[in-house]
Structures are given as C-alpha cells and as structure tokens.
Chains A and B, each alone.
Chain A
C-alpha cells in the first residue's frame, strides 16, 4: 500500500540546514495498523506529513497504492489527499461552526458528492462511531473523546486507502484514549490500513507493528501481538 525508498528531508533554518529524515525505507501492507514512535524531534511528524502529502520529500520515492507521489502541485495534492487519505489530528480540528454531521460530510463535499448522499453517508459513519444521536450538535457541545470520534468518522467518510492519525490520543485522558483506540482497532479489523504517530507506549502496543524513529532513521521495526483496547474500556 505504502512504499517509501531512501527518503530524505531537511529544513532550511536561516543559513543552517536541519536534516530531519536521513534515508527512510519503509513499506506498509494493506490492512496493517502501524504505530510510528519516537521522541520529539525524531522526525515522526515530518514523516507523517510527507505520507499525508502535506509536505514534499527532498530525495527518495514515495508510492501510494501504486501511484508515484511526486511533483504534485497544490491542486493535485488536494485531490490525492481527498481520494487516498484520511486525517485524524491531535487537536481534532473540527470546524467549529459546523455540526458533527456537516463536519463528517465535508470531505464528501470536496468529492462533489450530492447533498443527500453526503448526509446519508455522514450519518452512517457517525453511527459507526456511536454518535448518531449527536449528529446535529456543534463540536463545542461534544466531549474530547466524542470530538475525536467525529474526526475519525470524518476521516473515514471519504473511504480513504490509508488513515493517518497524528497523536490521536494526545489530548485525551487514558480512558477516553482507550475508547478511541478501540474504535481505531475496529476500523482496522474491517480491513483499513492505519498509521498512528504516538509517543505513548501503551497506545503503540495496541497496534500490530511498531516503527521506532530516532534522529531521522528507523532504529527498530517490529511486528507485535496486539493489545486489545476493549479490555480497558
């Protein structure tokens, strides 16, 4: 599903150049649930941004579902993001003046899906995350865990190839974190490919594979036995 070869990325900071990613080789199969771990500054967010086409790579190659991702202009990148990727952010990033349902329906709007179908789909995904009754509520009326579940529903609504989650539990307490992870595991069970960036070991243990990043290189890449989050909920 994801194929990365010899990926380099550096940022220019004035006259200095900060080499963040120093040759990453990494691939993800369909249906995997991968945790990307590392301390801050290890390059894990940069890697996720490149995977999410929010940032461009300097060197190397990136293939997503057989499509080489390179030399994208903003328009093309937007279309690919819409088609291939679902995003879940640490701070939820829901649009605060739109109801839960409208938030979930937003990626479908950019897919030019009709209004009626959009609403139906949005309700279906809200149902999946257990928030059908909250469809008409604004984000400000939802708890943190509910917001993140709406965000996950939004990411899933576009039926992406890969779900990218940047610290999805970073702003949640542990009980709520496990609820969210339970949801992510269920989505993964349904066959979806998911990448999670996290620095919390217990969250990482709930994935099927852990990739450790340190100073811009992968130091460890191991498959693990998944801890089911449902047992904590």
Chain B
C-alpha cells in the first residue's frame, strides 16, 4: 500500500484526471449530488427530531394526564350523566397498585376549565390570571424553570398551607415595575395576601399553561377555594422503561373501580398520553431518518455508478496511452491501481465537497427557521454517519473502479499500441 503515499502516484492521478476537466467535473457532480442529498436529508431529519425534543423538553417523555368527566353508562345503580370527581385518596391507591408509576402529581386549577380566573391585585394594579394548586412533585413531571433568587413550592409550604405563590413572567410584568424584585413582595389572590417566592420562566410546548400562571401550594388552594379532597387532574410519569400506554389503561381501570364507573364506560375518565404522542413523533422522526438514509445511499450509488461508467469510457479512450505505459514498463498492477485510485479519488473529492455543501445548506435552513414556530433545531448529521458515508463511497469507488481497471489490463499492450 506504500504507493498510496507516494507523491508520484498522485501526480499520475492528477495528470490523468486533469486532462479532461469538464468530464471530470460533471462526473464529480453526480456523486456530490448524492452525498449532498444524503447529508441534507439526514440533517433535516435530525433537525426535526431535535425540534420535537425541544418542544417536549420540559415535560417527562413518558407522562400522561388523566381527569374525570361524566359517565355515559349506568352502573351499580348510578344513572348516566353523573359527574365523577377525582379525590386526593386516589393518589396512594394508584401508586400502590401500579408499580410503574414514578411520580404522580394531583393538580387543581382555577380559571382554565370553566370558572373565571382569580383576580390578582397588587397596589393599584390588577389582573385576572389562572391559579394552580400544586405539589412540589409536579416539577418532576413538567419542569418549571425558576428565575434566580426564587424557588418553586416546597414540602413545608404544603404542610403549613402557606400563602406563597410562584408567578409567571407576564404576571410580574403586569403587577411589578421593571426594576422591582417581586420576590418577598405580596400580591392579593382573590383578596388573600400571598408572598411571591419565585418567578417561573415559560417554555412554550403546547398544553394549556401560559406565562401568566400563578402556582400556589395544593393545600392552600383547597383552603382558598374550598375544594376539600377534590383533584382537578393527575399528572403521572411512568418509569423510563415502562410502557406508558399500559400504565394509562391501568390508571383508568383503577379510577373507574374507585369511582364506581362501568369498566366499559370510555367517557367517564379522560386522559392524554404524552408518551404515546411522543413515541409516535419519535417514530416519525426515525422513519424520516431511515428514509433519508435509503434515499441518500441510493443517490450516492447512482453517482458512483456514473463514475464507473465515465472511467470505462475514459479507459477506452486511453487504450493507447495505457498501452504506451505498459510498453514503458508499467505492470498490470500499476495500471490497475492507477484507475482504481482515480475512481476512489474522484469519489472522495465529490464526497467531501458534498458534505461541505450539505452542511452549508443545513446551517442556512437552520438560520431561516430560527425564531419560527416550527419544530426544527440544530440540524446535525452524526459524525459516524458522515464517516460511514465516506467509507461506503471509498468501498463503492474501489469496487466500481475495478471494472474499468480490469478492462484496462485485459487489453494486451500490443493490441493497445496497434489501435489507431
């Protein structure tokens, strides 16, 4: 393999490639296009993948939500249309009966599902915002980013039913002056004073929460609004290796049992399975990646075949030259490696240029989609994919080069010289 690192070898290759520049360039474009398509497609697929992930980054991937509605079937003497009410007791039952549940957070809200929002007053300023009653554990399922100096609701707040709240960015803007630190200050929620302990940063990601939401301890909420043991909905996160769809089924079955709902009644307990949706999106992104892999490799293959084709023509044209070379002492091996190296070299050049071009286009797309409401972020092609593509191209280039190379040495020098 020493000849690979011999500058003479490369000079010979450049010499013969350079002699028909137009044809070389057109040939190279064939492969370049292939790898370009491959890079752009798989980068875009990765970008979508990243984009989806970004949208869901503040929510546990295998989480679900469940709430109660009214029944649609009579059961155990209860008539249809009965409103079911989830209770705080359900938490321990669910947790005990379904070991796959990692976290379960009961939540309440005022001002989202019917019922007016709470009136918030601070000094001369006021506004209407949704108020959530939460346990600290709910941040395990959907993370809340809290600005420096602040904190989320903690266990002591729950135990003491403290009158503390975490406000949103917009709430802060509407109730406080720009240079004012809200932490430690008081606001009135429905005429009860609450101390602000944190400001949460809003991350858009679907759902019904917004940048003006106010969180207060669950226990305080139930005193404030007299909700007793009632729970609006449960946010549930399953362990990473658990099957969320199955957890969802179990949760609903158990809730139906507790609340005397006909097991066949599909309407009484509602749920939204983020894990399932997420899996579907991941599957879509995976499918896209796979498709781009197939399309890309097929295009590369077409390009490489083009190189083989061109080299076959080139060998035919150069029959005499190759004959002269052999008369001057080129061994069949040297002629063969000349042609194969030409093939590999063209493929590699095309490949590297295609990768650079593809990367350029990806970064352009990234720039354009920045700030747009489109799930697309940081489109990258994993290095192993790039190296793999290059390796495939070297192998294909060698294999396809073998055909013209064999053709080149199969012509006897005497016949090659005789050809006019």
A: residues with CB less than 8 A from B are 49, 52, 54-55, 74-75, 78-79, 81-83, 87, 89, 91, 93, 95-98, 102, 106-107, 109-111, 115, 154, 158
Contact = CB atoms under 8 A, between A and B. Distances in A.
A97 B18 contact: yes
Contacts of A52: 327
B7 interface: yes
A106 B417 contact: no
A11 to B, nearest CB: 12
B327 A81 contact: yes
B327 A87 contact: yes
A106 B328 contact: yes
Given A96-B19, A106-B325, A154-B328, 8 more contacts: A52-B327, A54-B413, A74-B326, A78-B332, A93-B323, A102-B15, A110-B328, A158-B329
18 contacts: A49-B414, A54-B327, A54-B413, A54-B414, A74-B326, A74-B409, A78-B330, A78-B334, A81-B327, A81-B329, A82-B329, A83-B329, A106-B328, A107-B329, A110-B330, A110-B334, A111-B329, A158-B329
Contacts of A96: 19, 321
Contacts of A110: 325, 328-331, 334
Contacts of B414: 49, 54-55
Interface string B273-292: 00000000000000000000
Interface residues on B, range: 20 to 34
Contacts, number: 69
Contacts of B7: 115
Interface in B312-348: 320-321, 323-334
A15 to B, nearest CB: 21
Contact of B328 (A75, A97, A107): A107
Contacts of A115: 7-8, 11
Contacts of B323: 93
A109 B327 contact: no
A98 B12 CA distance: 10
Interface of chain B: mostly helix, strand, loop or mixed: helix
B420 interface: yes
Interface of B: 7-8, 11-12, 15-16, 18-19, 320-321, 323-334, 409, 412-414, 417, 420
Contacts of A83: 329
Nearest to A52: B327
A13 to B, nearest CB: 15
A97 B19 contact: yes
A75 B331 contact: yes
B333 A91 contact: no
Nearest to B420: A91
A53 to B, nearest CB: 9
A81 B330 CA distance: 9
Contacts of A55: 414
B321 A109 contact: no
